Amino acid sequence: MKTDPNSRRNFVRFLAASPLFASAGIDQPTLTRLFSGTPRDQSEAFGLVDELTAQDPTLIANAADALDVFDFEPVAKKKIPPAHWGYLITGTDDDATIKANRDGYQKWALRPRRLVDVSKLDTSVDLLGHKYDTPIVLCPLGSQRAFNSEGELAVARAAKAKNHLQVLSTVATTSIEDVIAARGAPVWWQLYATGDWNQTRAMIKRAEAAGAPAIVFTVDLLGGSNRETMFREGLLDTRNCVQCHAGGRPAPGVSGRVDDRDNRRKPALAVPAPGTPIPEVGTPTWDYVKRIKDTTSMKVFVKGLLTPEDAELAIQHGASGMFVSNHGGRADNSLRGTIECLPDIAKQVKGRAIVELDGGIRRGTDIFKAMALGATAVGIGRPYIWGLGSFGQEGVEAVLAILRRELEIVMRQAGTTSLKQITPAYVLPRNA
C-alpha cells in the first residue's frame, strides 16, 4: 500500500510547512519517508497528522473533492477505529510485500502510440457471459461493516451504479442473499475452506442457491498469516467490543483462518450447517478443486496463484480461471509484486482461462499495465474500502469513477480504443 509521492501533490509539502509540524520538529523528509514506506510507516505518518491537525484543510470533505484514490486514505484513517484500520492495512511480517506490489508497477514503462482516432473508447469486459463497464473487480474483503455501518450493502449498490463485478467474502458481515438483492445482479462468492467439509459444502450450496455464477476458492491463507501491523494497531484500540469479538478485544481476522475467528457477525459461518461433521484430514490439495467442482454447477476459480506451474495445475483440475494474487501482501511475504508474476502466468495460460490480477492497483496506468501483460480483469481491495470508510456508497462510487477516468486517459494516450488492443507491445521493462 505504498503511497505515490506524485499523487499526494502538495499534501506532504503543506504539512511540512505547517507551523504545528515545524514546532514539533517534523520536517518534510521525515513525512516523505513515512508516507513512502510500509503501511506501518504510513500509519505513523497519519497518526502525526491526527495529533497535530484536528481540522486539516488538505483532507477532502466530500467524495467529489477527490482527485485520486489516495485522497480517501487519510479520511478513512480518521474515521475507522484503530483495530479495524489495522485489519485493513496489515500485511504479513514487516509488510514488505505490500510495498513490493506497488513497486512492481514502476518496473514497467509505457509505449504510447500517436495519431490514432481515440474519440470512442470501449472499456468493457465480458466475464462468464456478463458484460461489465470496466475490467475493475471489487475483490472480496471481509468484515466491511467494520469500516461503515452499511458495509457490503453500500459496496453492492456502488457496484450496481457503476456496473462492476463484486466478489463477496466468506467472512462478509452481510449475507450473500442480501448483497445480491442490493446489487440487483449475481455476485461471485469467495470460499475459505473450513476444517469441516460438511460446513464448507453447505456454504457452497448456499451461494449456488442464491444465484452466484462463480466460486473463488482462496488458497493463499491455508498456512495462516503473521499480521504484526494489525496487532500493533489493535493495541491502540481501547474499546470494549464484546458484542462483536470474544473477550471484548477488537481483533478481527486474527490468523487469517476462518476456523480461528469469532464468526458471530459473519452470516456464512454464524450458524453451523446441519448434519454430521466431516473433519478434514490435512489441508486442501489440488484434489480439493475437483471436490468443489463435483459439488456445484458454479464455475470454479482459484485465488492466490503466483506461479505458472500452479496456473497450469488449476486448468488441469478444471478451474475456469485464476486470481493472480498475494492477498494484498497479507498472505506470505514473498517480496514479489503480483504484476511481476503475471507475465509468466499469462504466457502459460495462453487464453485458456480467465486471469484476474490484484494487488497494489491504485492508478489507471496500473490497470493498463496489467491488461498489457495478460490480465483479463483487475481487482482492487483497499482503495474501495478507503472510499467506503470515508463516505460510504458515494465514496466507493467515486473511487471507481476515478480509476475508470484514469484508465480512459491512458488508453487514449496509448492509442488503444478497446481492452483487446492493450497488448504487450504497449509496455516494456523500464531498464530495457
**Catalytic residue numbers, as ranges:** 327
Cβ atoms < 10 Å from Cβ of 278: 13
Residue whose C-alpha is closest to residue 407's, from 108, 69, 165, 100: 69
Report in angstroms the alpha-carbon separations of 248 from 230, 251, 258, 431. Answer: 16, 9, 19, 52
Q: Which three cell numbers stand for residue 300?
A: 470454479
Report in angstroms the alpha-carbon separations of 375 from 101, 343, 344, 369. Answer: 15, 9, 11, 9
Ramachandran bin of 156, using left for φ above 0, alpha for ψ from -120 to 50, beta for the remaining angles: alpha
| Helix, strand, coil abundance in the chain, percent, nearest 5 | 45, 10, 45
Q: Which residue has the cell 498469516?
A: 225
Cα separation, 45 vs 62, in Å, equals: 22
Cα separation, 227 vs 210, in Å, equals: 33
* Dihedral pair phi/psi, residue 83, rounded to 5°: -65, -40
Report in angstroms the alpha-carbon separations of 68 from 8, 85, 281, 398, 400. Answer: 9, 20, 47, 9, 10
